[in-house]
Structure formats: structure tokens, C-alpha cells
Amino acid sequence: MADEINSNGYYNHRYNKRESLHSVFRVAGDGEKYAYDINDSQNEIIKKQEGILFSLSIHNVINDLYAYVSIKNTGKKNLYAWKGNLYAFKNQLSGDFFNVISEKTRMDYLGVKVNFGSAPDSVEDYIEIVPGNELTEKIKLSGYYQFLPSTHSYDIGTVTIPFMRSPKVGKNYLTPDNFFLARSNRVALTVDGNKLNDKIIDYYTVR
């Protein structure tokens, strides 16, 4: 748990209902958790220590809101991300990859949710990032997340995901010595929901 309270709210999985908004205010003792388990300063320290750049920028392109995600291995060893954790791949989402928060409310993910199982079955289930290489994704946020009508301020970042030092398989793949947790930076911006294209992307074609 982060040692500082995130002013942009909290997230409770049980409220994640399709096509609805849900409050993420914390109520003591009910099991809710912070939207970001690792605070910003801790996250940047971890990324520097592990040799990874994990960055996010948001751009409005002809009334579509795009998230540009970059993951670059600046270290000396290969890094691996299981597809069941890294939901952004080949410019599509297979699950809820972003915290889109406005006024302490987390917007719902409305896209498809691909079942990759509970653990990787083979090394082919991993995305390998070799030293010096960069994984880039362009995700149409307005096609996957519900934005509020009219103009609102948003705080957007990726969820925290594990990066593996070796591609272990099976239910015990997350051994303490073999992974670290990281996420992107957070982006603050203002969005007019009335001007966004709101057609939901309800398919996943990546193979």
C-alpha cells in the first residue's frame, strides 16, 4: 500500500459494472484499495532501478482521445510481460488497462475482456522486450472508456503491472525474485465529452 493518499480517488473492484459510473471514495473497513498501490515517487525509483521507461501521453485526434504508451528497456537484461497482465497490445485492449479518473470517480472500462487464464502456459504467452527495444501502443481511449458529458478534468495513468526477469510459466510464475511492479506516469487533462466519438470498441482481433 502506498504511504501517501492519492487525491484522485480510490477503486473498488466490486463496483466495476458495465456501462455505469461508480464512486471510488474510500469507506473505512470495506476492503477498498487505492487507485495506485505504488505512489508516484516510488514508481519512478523502481523504473530507474530496473532499467525501464514506461511513459504515457494523451492526444485528441479529430474527436478521438488516444493514449500513446511507450515501454522501453534501458537495462542490460531482457524483460518480459505476460499478455494476461499487459492488456495493451497491437493497439488494442484485452482488458481494463487504464485508470481514467475524474472528480474521484473511476470511469468504467467498456471494452472486451479476454480470458488468458490465471497464469502463462508457455513462453509464447509473453511479450519479450530486449535491451534497447521499445514497445509502443496507440490506444483509442474514447473507444474503451466511458467519459462524462460536457467538460471535466481527468487524471489518467496505466494500472500497475508485473514485469518478469525470466519467462516462468505455471501458477507460481510470480516468484518474488523474478518480477517487479511498475506503471506509467499520470497525465492530467481536460476533456469535453460532448465532442468525443463514443462508439465502443467491442472486439479483439489480436492473435
Give the residue extent of every domain in the chain. 44-195
pLDDT, tens only, 124-152: 999 999 999 999 999 999 999 999 999 99
pLDDT at 105: 85
Burial of 132 (0-12, 13-18, 19+ CB in 10 A): exposed
User: How many other C-beta atoms lie within 10 A of the C-beta of residue 106?
Assistant: 25
The DSSP string of 2-58 is: -SS--TT-EE-GGG--TT--EE----TTS--EES-SS-HHHHHHHHHHHTEEEEEEE
pLDDT at 39: 82
Look at domain 44-195 and name its CATH class.
Answer: mainly beta
- Confidence check: pLDDT of 34 > 80: no
Residue listed under C-alpha cell 468525443 = 196
Model confidence, pTM: 0.83
Band of pLDDT at residue 195, cut at 50, 70 and 90: very high
Strand segments, DSSP code E, in the chain are 10-11, 22-23, 33-34, 52-61, 64-73, 79-82, 88-89, 92-93, 98-102, 105-106, 126-129, 134-140, 151-158, 161-164, 179-182, 187-192
Provide mean pLDDT across the span 170-178: 93
